[in-house]
Amino acid sequence: MFDLDIAGGSKAYCDDIRGRLKEFGIEITELSTHLQGQLVAVHPVYDEQFDGFAPPSVRGRPQERQAWATGQLVNAAKASMHLGLKAHATFSGALAWPFLYPWPQRPSGLVEEAFAELSRRWLPILNAFDEAGVDVCYELHPGEDLHDGVTFERFLEGVGGHKRANILYDPSHFVLQALDYLSFIDIYHQRIRAFHVKDAEFNPTGRSGVYGGYQAWLDRPGRFRSLGDGQVNFRAIFSKLAQYDFDGWAVLEWECALKHPQDGAREGAQFIRDHIIRVTDRAFDDFADAGTDRQANRRLLGLAGGEAGR
């Protein structure tokens, strides 16, 4: 459907794709390299499971697999530029994830070393995206070393505050972590450059909580839901993003253990349309539109007889 290797080297190929999509009223929001991004950093315990994300030629060869993934990201940067895109969605990969819970106790410096290596691997990729004028938007996600605000800050420090290191905001993953997803926008809005509209719910019981007890998605206390069926307060989210002048796409992402995906897509598209805020161009109480009258303001302050410079 889309050859990333060709797209990275051929603007004509990308123009052709855009033209054919335009005939059907379709526009590309961003490219995604979640699987390739995952392979930039893989702890050996996950080698066999994540090998399936790579072509057969590099399976069982972690260093070659990493090099392939890095090349894919560089191609994605160029392809995004050719397509005229501003943001790119990906995962960070993970070296420290098996040590998430501090038991057995983590040796001193382990986490710092993991993030130093993660930053080293991503820095040339971020530079490639900078050359292309495209933001890398990490989906903060369980299973990734970048899974919340604190881990994103660790990484951002490691890459020297790189301007292309940004966030794909997906509140569903924060619900499952019991993280304040509205406060997150207040803190990190300057780095939020992509937005997945995905719903979730967290219903802990006396038998199972945030870790889920190794249960299937249907039985977990925290589970993803079709848009509008979960607990995420999207009215508040869209309001905050409008407040901070977010100008990216609102991208429907569907995952649900219950509802059929076609129903989720149909309902979700309408849900997003109903939540988009057309930002006002004037204050609601500026009904007089009187402009600024400095002398009138000074009279109201009791300064009419004084000198303006004092």
pLDDT of 308 above 60: no
Region 151-168: what's the mean pLDDT? 98
pLDDT tens per residue, range 168-178? 999 999 999 99
The pair phi, psi for residue 114, each rounded to 5°, is -60, -45
pLDDT tens per residue, range 43-95? 999 999 999 999 999 999 999 999 999 999 999 999 999 999 999 999 999 99
Amino acid at site 170: D
**Sign of the C-alpha dihedral, residues 256, 143, 136, 248?**
positive
Q: Closest Cα partner for 162 from 220, 118, 214, 210?
A: 118
Is the omega angle on the peptide bond into residue 104 within 30 degrees of 0, that is, cis?
yes
Alpha helices in 228-301 (DSSP H): 234-243, 261-275, 294-300
Q: CA-to-CA distance for 256 and 241, rounded, in angstroms?
A: 25
Confidence of residue 130 (pLDDT cuts 50, 70, 90): very high
- The gap between the terminal CA atoms of the chain, to the nearest Å, is 70
Strands 222-225 and 199-202: antiparallel
Alpha helices in the chain (DSSP H): 4-9, 11-22, 34-38, 47-50, 62-82, 110-132, 149-158, 171-175, 181-188, 234-243, 261-275, 294-300
pLDDT of 305 above 70: no
Q: What is the mean pLDDT of the chain?
A: 96
Triad 128, 130, 134: Cα angle to 5°: 105
pLDDT at 304: 74
DSSP 106: P
pLDDT tens per residue, range 206-244? 999 999 999 999 999 999 999 999 999 999 999 999 999
Q: Which two tokens stand for residue 212?
A: 């889920």
Please state the domain extents for the chain: 4-300
* Of the listed ranges 202-216, 239-253, 258-272, 275-289, the one predicted with least confidence: 275-289
CA dihedral 206, 211, 216, 218 (to 10 degrees): 60
pTM of the model: 0.94
pLDDT of 35 above 90: yes
- Classified by CATH at the fold level, domain 4-300 comes out as TIM Barrel (3.20.20)
Confidence of residue 195 (pLDDT cuts 50, 70, 90): very high
